[in-house]
Amino acid sequence: MMKVAAGLALVSTFAVQCRADWGASDETLAARVDALVQGYSRCGYLNGAVLVARHGKVVYGKGVGLANFELAQPNTTQTRFGVASITKQFTAVLVLQQVAKGTVQLQRTVADYLPWYRKDTGSRMTIEQLIHHTSGLPADYDWPEFSDTYEASRRYEPGEFARKFCQPDLVSRPGTQWAYSNSGYILLGLILEQATGTSFKQLLKDQILDPVGLRDTGLVSHDYGEIDAATGYTRHAGPRYTPGRDLDLGHVWSAGAMYSTAEDLLRWNEALSSGKLLPAPLQAELFKPGLGNWACGWFVTKIGQGAPGAGSTVQEMRGDMPGNFFTWVLRYPDQDTVVIVLRNAYGSTEHFEEKLQSVLFGQEPQLPRRNPKDVVARAWMSSCATLEAHQNAAFLAPIAILAIGYPVFRRKGKAQHSN
C-alpha cells in the first residue's frame, strides 16, 4: 500500500547545475511556484494542495482542483488527505518518546514485548531495527495486502493482521540489510500499546496531536468515510477520474492509516525542528540516516550532482495510497524550507516535485505538455458525447413531430368530418 524505493533523493534531468537563488523575495518565489502549479493543473497532472514555507512562514499555499468531483468541492490547504506512509514519522516519534521515558528500550526485542510473536525471529529483531527497516523482515510494499487489490480491501484489526501476515521468515540477518517494511511499523504500534497499556490512537492524540495543535490530523480506523476528507480518485487518460478502491486502513494502522492537511503537516514539521517533542539526544536521531539513507520516518540524502541545489541536504518522505492518495513532503534544512504536496488523484506526477525543487533553487523549469494519451482520450470522449447527443436527437425527433403534428392532424380530421 505504501510503495517507496530506496534512496528517494530527487534526480533531475537538467544537465547544467544552477546556483541556489534562495535570496528571491517571497513574492517572487510564490509567483514562480504558482506558474508551475498552474501549468500542471491545466494539463490535469495535479489535483490536491501545494504548500511551500521558508523559515516557518508560508510563502505559497493553494488548493488545486477538487476534493470531491461529484460535489464540485474544491481542494484547499485545510482539506484532509490520506497521508499513508507519512504515518511512520509519527509512529517513530511515539516510540522515541517512550524510549525517553524508559517504557520502551531500543535494544530489546519484539518477543520481549509481544509474547505471541514467533520466538525464532522475534527474539532476534530489536525495536531499533524495526524503526530503521533493518530487522530482516522482507520488503512488503508490493504485497497484495498493501496494494490496490481485493486483498487490501479485506478488513482486519491490527493485532489480527499482524498475527497472520507480520511473522514471515527473515530474509537477512537483523541489522545487516535495509528493506522497507510496513509490517515492522505495524509491530511498533502493537509494541507501543503493550508497553504503555494505552491504545495507539490515544497515544497519538495525547503525545503529539494535542500538544502540537494538529486539529485536522488523526488516525482512521478502517476507511475515510469516518472523517470529512477529500475523496481519493484514480486518474485515467483524458484526464478522467474514478473513485479509488475502498482500501481497509485497519491493518495498515501505525504504518499508514493517518490523514492530515497541508497546514497541519507544516505545523508537524515545525514541531520536529523545534526539539519540543524529544530530548536532545533522541532529537538528533530523527534525521540521522543509516542503511538505505533511512532515518526515523525520513529518507535523508544530498542532492546529486547536475541537479538544482546539488550538495544540499534533502529530507523527504512519500505517502502512497494506491488508487487514492499520493503525498510528498520535502525538507531542505540548509535553507530552512519545507515543501508539502498532497494529491487525491492518483496517477502520473510528471516530475512535479523535481521541477518544484528547481524553482526553489532559482531555475526556470520547462512547463509540462499535455500527454498524447490525454489528447486522444479527450477527443474520443468529445466524439462520444457528440454522437450520444445526436442519437438522442434522432430518438426524440419523431416524438417531437408527433407531439406537434398530432393536434394539427386531429383538427384537420374534425374539420373534414364536420364537412
- Reply yes or no on whether the pLDDT at 56 is more than 90: yes
User: 207-236: buried (b, 16+ CB within 10 Å) or exposed (e) per residue?
Assistant: bbbeebebebbbbbbbbbeeeebbbbbbbe
The residue assigned the cell 521515558 is 101
Name which of 42-46, 246-250, 326-330, 364-368 the model is least confident about.
364-368
Which segments of 76-178 does DSSP mark as H helices, in order? Answer: 87-101, 110-113, 119-122, 127-131, 158-165
- 395 contacts: CB under 8 Å, gap ≥ 6: none
Among the listed residues 43, 74, 81, the one whose alpha carbon sits nearest the alpha carbon of residue 325: 81
Please state, in angstroms and rounded to a whole number, the distance separating the CA atoms of residues 196 and 216.
25
Indicate the SS3 state at residue 84: strand
Whether the Cβ atoms of residue 358 and residue 16 lie closer than 8 Å to each other: no
- Reply yes or no on whether the pLDDT at 84 is more than 70: yes
Query: Beta strands 233-236 and 48-54: pairing type?
Result: unpaired
pLDDT in tens, 150-164: 999 999 999 999 999
**What pLDDT, on a 0 to 100 scale, did the predictor assign at position 359?**
96
Residue bearing the bigger pLDDT, 17 or 373? 373
pLDDT in tens, 123-144: 999 999 999 999 999 999 999 9
Preceding peptide of 279 cis, ω within 30°: no
- Reply yes or no on whether the pLDDT at 392 is more than 90: no
Preceding peptide of 239 cis, ω within 30°: yes
Burial of residue 192 (CB within 10 Å: 0-12, 13-18, 19+) is buried
> What is this structure's pTM?
0.86
Name which of 4-8, 48-52, 66-70 the model is least confident about.
4-8
The phi, psi pair for 309, rounded to 5°, reads 80, 20
The residue assigned the cell 510564490 is 30
**What pLDDT, on a 0 to 100 scale, did the predictor assign at position 366?**
86
Please state, in angstroms and rounded to a whole number, the distance separating the CA atoms of residues 369 and 355.
13
Q: For residue 312, what pLDDT band results from cuts at 50, 70 and 90? A: very high
What kind and span of H or E run contains 182? helix 182-196
Residue bearing the bigger pLDDT, 37 or 412? 37
- Reply yes or no on whether the pLDDT at 10 is more than 80: no
Name which of 162-166, 250-254, 308-312, 406-410 the model is least confident about.
406-410
Measured on CA atoms in the order 374, 70, 227, 147, is the torsion positive or negative?
Answer: negative
Q: For residue 376, what pLDDT band results from cuts at 50, 70 and 90? A: confident
Among the listed residues 162, 47, 34, the one whose alpha carbon sits nearest the alpha carbon of residue 110: 162
Please state, in angstroms and rounded to a whole number, the distance separating the CA atoms of residues 164 and 170.
15
Percentage above 90 pLDDT, the chain: 77
Task: Look up residue 238 and give its amino acid.
Answer: G
- Reply yes or no on whether the pLDDT at 17 is more than 70: no
pLDDT in tens, 173-215: 999 999 999 999 999 999 999 999 999 999 999 999 999 999 9
- The 8-class DSSP code of residue 208 comes to I
Percentage above 70 pLDDT, the chain: 85
Q: For residue 168, what pLDDT band results from cuts at 50, 70 and 90? A: very high
* Cross-strand bridge partners of residue 126: 109
Around Cβ 142, how many Cβ atoms within 10 Å? 11
Q: For residue 380, what pLDDT band results from cuts at 50, 70 and 90? A: low
- Indicate the length of the chain as a whole number: 419
Please state, in angstroms and rounded to a whole number, the distance separating the CA atoms of residues 309 and 182.
31
**What pLDDT, on a 0 to 100 scale, did the predictor assign at position 378?**
66
Residue bearing the bigger pLDDT, 148 or 173? 173
* Cross-strand bridge partners of residue 325: 321
What the block records as the C-alpha cell of 130 is 524495526
Please state, in angstroms and rounded to a whole number, the distance separating the CA atoms of residues 58 and 338.
9
Whether the Cβ atoms of residue 230 and residue 68 lie closer than 8 Å to each other: yes
Residue bearing the bigger pLDDT, 5 or 148? 148
Please state, in angstroms and rounded to a whole number, the distance separating the CA atoms of residues 311 and 297.
22
Q: For residue 30, what pLDDT band results from cuts at 50, 70 and 90? A: very high
Helices 158-165, 182-196: axis angle to 10 degrees equals 130
- Reply yes or no on whether the pLDDT at 416 is more than 50: no
Distances (CA, A) of 20 to 99, 226, 303, 332, 359: 39, 44, 12, 12, 10
Around Cβ 399, how many Cβ atoms within 10 Å? 9
Average pLDDT estimate for 303-326: 95
- Reply yes or no on whether the pLDDT at 417 is more than 90: no
pLDDT in tens, 270-293: 999 999 999 999 999 999 999 999
pLDDT in tens, 353-362: 999 999 999 9
Burial of residue 271 (CB within 10 Å: 0-12, 13-18, 19+) is middle
As a whole number, the mean pLDDT across the chain is 88
- Kindly report the CA angle at 8 between 38 and 32, in degrees rounded to 5? 25
